Amino acid sequence: MPEALAELQRWMLGAILGGGDAPEAVRGRIAGNNRLGPEGRLAIYAGGYRSRLLESLQNEYPALRLLVGDTVFELFARSYIAAAPPRHFSLYDYGARFAGHLEATRPADGGALAGLPAALARLERARAEVQRAEGMERRDPSWLTAEAALLPGLRLALPDSVRLLRLDFDLLPLIEASEQGGEAVVPEPGESLVAVFRSGYRVRQLRLEPWRHAWLEALGSGGADAFGAAAAAAARSGRDGGALLADLALWLPVAASLGLVTRAA
């Protein structure tokens, strides 16, 4: 590895991330002309770096942008960009830790709504992941026959294209407003159990009753016995096991047709 090349690359990337360098350092390394000097040329790359990452976050978090407005969203994004330069070859990966950054930097005395941006970012990241995941579109929709449903030994799992979330706000109206070009409504605080999934290549989200959320959670991506998961869901949600099984027998075909469950490998 040519050391001079490595040194030059370390310097240039540092200057891009830092927004520039001392004029003499720039002029010693970069040629300029009458129209545009070395500092101006380096500034094109420094500005482009921030714009590209900002645009990537804007594309991935449209509902958060709608909720907080362009100026505050840009403050969030620039804070994240400064704290977490990209480490992965894919720009898609870049947004993965945005929600965590918002959570870590939320104001301590911000009241009940302080956690809202991070919660919304978690939901939007889940949507982005589901959009790219292996879905159920290629599966025969009749894979779970009425006869097979809830037979002893039936092992089910969450497909890659399902994410289960436990949120502190009801965010679905906001997602809907974002998708339809509507106006933002500030969500009310309160627990909201949500499944993000894909059906016919379209990303959707569904509010779940606690027992359904608990049952899907008990299945997990690794899969579990449907009866065992039902017992776990009954214990967790405080419902009677028999009544829950009866409800599950009715709901399971719907869940299967929506792509919320698949047969475990």
Partner 1 sequence: MARSDPAPACPPRLGLPNLGDGVGLRDPHFTQLMRTDPADWGVDWFEILSENFLDHRGYAAHVLERVAAHRPVVMHGVSLSIGSTDPLDGGYLDKLAELAGRVNPVWISDHLCWTGIAGTNSHDLLPMPLTEASLAHVTARVREVQDRLGRPLILENPSSYLQFAGAQMPEWEYLGRLAEESGCGLLLDVNNVHVSAFNHGFDAALYIEALPAERIVQVHLAGPRDCGTHLLDTHDSPVLEPVWALYALAMRRTGGVSTLLEWDSSIPPYEELLAELAKARAWREAEPARA
Least spacing, CB of residue 161 vs partner 1, in Å: 8
Cβ(73)–Cβ(58) under 8 Å? yes
Burial category of 162 from C-beta neighbours within 10 Å (exposed 0-12, middle 13-18, buried 19 and up): buried
Closer of 45 and 143 to partner 1 (Cβ): 45
The reply to whether 17 sits near partner 1 by the rule CB under 8 A is yes
Least spacing, CB of residue 53 vs partner 1, in Å: 7
Largest CA distance in the chain: 82
Other CB atoms within 10 A of residue 4 CB: 7
The reply to whether 18 sits near partner 1 by the rule CB under 8 A is no
The reply to whether 126 sits near partner 1 by the rule CB under 8 A is no
* Footprint on residues 37-66 left by partner 1 (CB under 8 A): 38, 40-42, 44-45, 48-49, 52-53, 56
Least spacing, CB of residue 3 vs partner 1, in Å: 8
For the record, the structure tokens of 41 come out as 């040329």
The reply to whether 83 sits near partner 1 by the rule CB under 8 A is no
Please tell me the count of residues contacting partner 1 according to CB under 8 A. Answer: 49
The reply to whether 199 sits near partner 1 by the rule CB under 8 A is no
The reply to whether 85 sits near partner 1 by the rule CB under 8 A is yes
Positive/negative CA dihedral, 237, 238, 239, 241: positive
Closer of 14 and 241 to partner 1 (Cβ): 14
Least spacing, CB of residue 100 vs partner 1, in Å: 19
Cβ(190)–Cβ(201) under 8 Å? no
For residues 168 and 192, give the distance between their C-alpha atoms in angstroms, rounded to a whole number: 6
The reply to whether 28 sits near partner 1 by the rule CB under 8 A is yes
Which residues, other chains included, contact 203 with Cβ-Cβ below 8 Å and sequence gap of 6+? Answer: 127, 130, 131, 196, 197
The reply to whether 16 sits near partner 1 by the rule CB under 8 A is yes
Least spacing, CB of residue 139 vs partner 1, in Å: 13
The reply to whether 112 sits near partner 1 by the rule CB under 8 A is no
The reply to whether 12 sits near partner 1 by the rule CB under 8 A is yes
Cβ(215)–Cβ(233) under 8 Å? yes
Least spacing, CB of residue 80 vs partner 1, in Å: 14
Cβ(136)–Cβ(198) under 8 Å? yes
For residues 16 and 8, give the distance between their C-alpha atoms in angstroms, rounded to a whole number: 12
* Footprint on residues 213-232 left by partner 1 (CB under 8 A): none
Closer of 28 and 110 to partner 1 (Cβ): 28
Cβ(147)–Cβ(249) under 8 Å? no
Paired strand residues for 263? 156
Which residue ranges make up the site for partner 1 (CB under 8 A)?
Answer: 1-2, 4-6, 8-10, 12-13, 16-17, 28-31, 33, 35-36, 38, 40-42, 44-45, 48-49, 52-53, 56, 85-92, 94, 131-135, 137, 160-161, 198, 201
